[in-house]
């Protein structure tokens, strides 16, 4: 009786798996992240991992890779299906509105954002047309998995938060500031802490001083006066100097300009974003309140 129950249970599981198209998966790990690849897909792809954040995983359709080798084509992109990369919030600030083809924001955790990268052309290859027609279903199968299942499962398996480019843009455009007074105070650059900003109210305007250490012997200085408008501080009178010190009390100006333009925005009450339009000095840098 017990044997029949076991057999019945096994058959039930098998039927469930077949009905819902459930399959075992291989788990690939890179940089503390994991990517599950179903067994029926795993044998059809080539997988690359890398310690570089801009190339955590890259997946290729194996048949195309092998066909390129047989043909003798020196084509590294043959069979490329997709890749997953990780970038900082600062980097994302600089590219998010550029609409880069083949790059999609899909997740984040803490201050890191995950991009789904894919080709904008077809990388399917075979030795001849007959082989192309014969294996078309393989190419289709791998792509359907890549575009329909990968991102959602990757987010769940790695405890990430889903996000789209539109959602991120909405976040940065919706300023946390209701008045210019919300910007006042001292701020420091989030990553290395070498940049410092002081914002002081001056009548109906705001005086801003920025100091950024370039090295032990060089420091950059910016001074500007800003007005509060549409949730941000805007300036068009920035004076910039990069000063080099000789270690003996002497100094000289390496670079300078006047009438620089830019803006400051609050992402949250304690995060200040600097966008410098003249020299991209801040490069989308984020500052934290002291």
pLDDT score for 282? 67
Give every CB contact of residue 275 below 8 A, 6+ residues apart in sequence: 262, 263, 264, 265, 282, 284
Q: Whole-angstrom Cα distance, residue 66 to residue 135?
A: 13
What does DSSP assign to residue 157? H
CB 47 within 8 A of CB 65: no
Per domain, the residue ranges of the chain are: 21-172, 180-289
Run of H or E residues at 9: helix 2-19
Give every CB contact of residue 142 below 8 A, 6+ residues apart in sequence: 41, 44, 45, 61, 81
Burial of 233 (0-12, 13-18, 19+ CB in 10 A): buried
Q: Whole-angstrom Cα distance, residue 54 to residue 119?
A: 15
CB 268 within 8 A of CB 172: no
Q: Whole-angstrom Cα distance, residue 260 to residue 94?
A: 19
CB 114 within 8 A of CB 163: no
pLDDT of the chain, 290 residues: tens digit per residue: 444 444 444 444 444 344 334 458 899 999 999 999 999 999 999 999 988 888 899 999 999 999 999 988 767 789 999 999 999 887 887 787 677 889 999 999 988 999 999 999 999 999 999 999 999 999 999 999 999 999 999 999 999 999 998 888 777 666 567 788 999 999 998 887 888 999 999 988 999 999 998 877 889 999 999 999 888 899 999 999 988 887 776 778 888 899 999 999 888 778 888 888 887 776 668 899 98
pLDDT score for 175? 58
């Amino acid at each position: 009786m017990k044997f029949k129950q076991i057999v019945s249970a096994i058959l039930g599981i098998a039927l469930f798996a077949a009905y819902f198209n459930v399959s075992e998966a291989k788990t690939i790990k890179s940089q503390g992240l994991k990517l599950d690849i179903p067994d029926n897909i795993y044998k059809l792809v080539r997988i690359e991992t890398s310690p570089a954040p801009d190339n955590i995983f890259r997946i290729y359709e194996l048949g195309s890779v092998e066909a390129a080798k047989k043909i003798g084509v020196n084509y590294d992109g043959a069979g490329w299906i997709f890749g997953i990369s990780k970038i900082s919030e600062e980097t994302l600030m600089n590219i998010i509105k550029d609409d880069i083809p083949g790059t999609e924001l899909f997740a984040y955790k803490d201050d890191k954002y995950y991009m789904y990268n894919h080709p904008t052309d077809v990388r399917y290859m075979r030795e001849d047309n007959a082989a192309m027609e014969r294996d078309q279903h393989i190419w289709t199968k791998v792509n359907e998995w890549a575009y329909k299942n990968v991102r959602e499962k990757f987010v769940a398996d790695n405890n990430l938060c889903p996000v789209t480019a539109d959602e991120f843009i909405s976040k940065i455009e919706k300023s946390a500031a209701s008045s210019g007074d919300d910007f006042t105070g001292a701020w420091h650059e989030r990553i290395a802490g070498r940049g410092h900003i002081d914002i002081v109210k001056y009548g109906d305007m705001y005086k801003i001083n920025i100091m950024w250490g370039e090295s032990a012997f060089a420091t950059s200085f910016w001074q500007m006066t800003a007005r509060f408008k549409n949730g941000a501080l805007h300036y068009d009178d920035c004076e910039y100097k990069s000063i080099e010190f000789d270690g003996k009390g002497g100094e000289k100006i390496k670079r300078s300009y006047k009438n620089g333009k830019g803006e400051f925005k609050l992402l949250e009450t304690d995060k200040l974003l600097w966008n410098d339009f003249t020299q991209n000095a801040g490069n989308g840098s984020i500052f934290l309140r002291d």
